[in-house]
Amino acid sequence: MGKPKAVAIIGTNASGKSSLGVTLAKTFGGEVVSADSRQIYRGLDIGTGKLSAEEMQRVPHHLIDVADVSEQFFSLAEYQAMAYRSIDDILERHRLPIMVGGTGLYVRAIVEGYRFETAPPDYERRRRLETMESAELWSTLAGYDAEVAARFDPRNKRRIIRAIEIIEHRGSYPDEIRNVAQFDFLQLGITWPPEVLRSRIEQRLTTRLEEGMVDEARRLMDRGVSAEIMDSLGLEYRYLARLLAGEYKDETEFFEDLSRAIYRFSRRQMSWFRKETSIVWLDTSGDYVSEAIDRVTAFLGRPDLQDGCR
């Protein structure tokens, strides 16, 4: 008997992953498992593009709003464990798991079945480390292992703290060990030609600003989310913190700076995804939704959809 089947939809920012995930879930009787490293946090709604209840169209979504942003401790291993539980639960109910998201490492950890040697959380140690600045934390990590420190963004305080925690517990930082994948995944990729993608990014950013993205960031900071945490959340929240700190002369300058940064990030995403030869890239010059449905149908070996899964 083969491994249980699942689908992953990955791609760049503003590519339409979320809506395609809902369409496939409704077509094949599936449920969505988010693979977005920021949608796991409560309160990061507009800036991360979380779907509204109406947009979800009654399709169950998992691993959204499962952590508090003020905690800022959610490791890849923790995500993997929760994703495995969600996928197993979906399969037990004879539904199709559909991973959707642009965090490539999250997707890869599930698709390839990473195995991690970590350390149990030590909250007293975390509180001690949390009082240190990012630069000091990174220097501490480099003092333990310069090669490990080089893997981390010096501004990403939560990941550096977790690395220090593991090293102090185990004596070293382990490399990830890839084990046999637990599921048989069809990976569908979606993106757009550069100019189209740039336009989609700008349109989406305009919509999010109209929906109140700046006010969302202000509420987060009023709740005590520091500028440093906002910076570590990347892209939208990093630039929103700068806007609220008065670093931009007006919102137009902010819009232009952020839209360029999102586009640059989308190009880096593609560089990451292009290394994965198992991803089937949908042809967005045509009816890519129908193409996706056809590919999932063939993958599942179901030329005719089962009753109740239309």
35 is in an annotated binding site: no
Q: Where do the H-state alpha helices sit in 131-193? A: 134-144, 146-149, 157-170
Which tokens sit at 201?
């990014």
234 is in an annotated binding site: no
CB-CB contact of 81 with 107 (8 Å): no
15 is in an annotated binding site: yes
| Rg of the chain, C-alpha, whole Å | 20
101 is in an annotated binding site: no
Residues paired with residue 5 on neighbouring β-strands, in sequence order: 184
Give the CA count within 13 Å in the CB-facing half-sphere of 298: 7
The 8-class DSSP code of residue 41 comes to E
Q: Tokens 């490399």 label which residue?
A: 175
**Do the bridges between strand 67-68 and strand 96-100 make them parallel or antiparallel, or are there none, so unpaired?**
unpaired
- CA dihedral angle for residue 34, residue 37, residue 40, residue 45, rounded to 10 degrees: -90
Rounded CA separation 134/109 (Å): 26
18 is in an annotated binding site: yes
172 is in an annotated binding site: no
271 is in an annotated binding site: no
292 is in an annotated binding site: no
Rounded CA separation 195/267 (Å): 12
Residues 6+ apart with CB under 8 A from 92: none
Binding site: residue ranges? 11-18
Binding residues for ATP: 11-18
